[in-house]
Amino acid sequence: MYGQVGNAVDALINLTPDGAALPLGLISTSLRILLVMLCNLLRVGIKQPTAVSPPDVLKRLQTGGSPDAFKDSEKWNSGVKTFGEEPLLNSLQWDMVFDDGAMFKN
C-alpha cells in the first residue's frame, strides 16, 4: 500500500526495545515522502480511486470489530463529536469504520 502513493523508500515504524510495534501511530519518514503523501491526500477531481488492497482484504478491515463492544466507548463518543455521525465499530488498526465503509485512523 505504502509504495502505491508514490514513495521511494520505506517508512520506519517505531518499536519498543523488545521489537514490538508501538500502537501510537508513530512513523518516521522523509520530508519528501510526507509531502508526497499530503499532495496525494489533497488532490481533487479524482473520479476513480485506485484500489490499493484486494476487495476481500478491504472487507475484512471494515468488518473486523464488534459494534456492541465499540458503542458508547470513548472512541465512539469522539467519532460522534468529531464527525457528527455514529461510527459503527473499530476494526483492527482502524479507530472508526462508518456506514459507508469509510475508515478513520487517528
Domain for residue 78, yes or no? yes
> What pTM was computed for the model?
0.55
pLDDT above 70 (res 3) = no
Mean pLDDT of 43-47: 53
**Residue 65 domain-assigned (yes or no):** yes
Domain count for the chain: 2
What value does the mean pLDDT take over residues 37-66?
Answer: 73
Long-range Cβ contact pairs of 77-83 (< 8 A, separation 24 or more): 79/104
- Provide the pLDDT for residue 32: 74
**22: which strand partners?**
none
Given this model, what pLDDT does residue 80 score? 94
Q: Between these two residues, 92 and 2, which has the higher pLDDT value?
A: 92
Q: Which domain does 87 fall in, by range?
A: 55-104
Q: Which residue has the higher pLDDT, 13 or 72?
A: 72
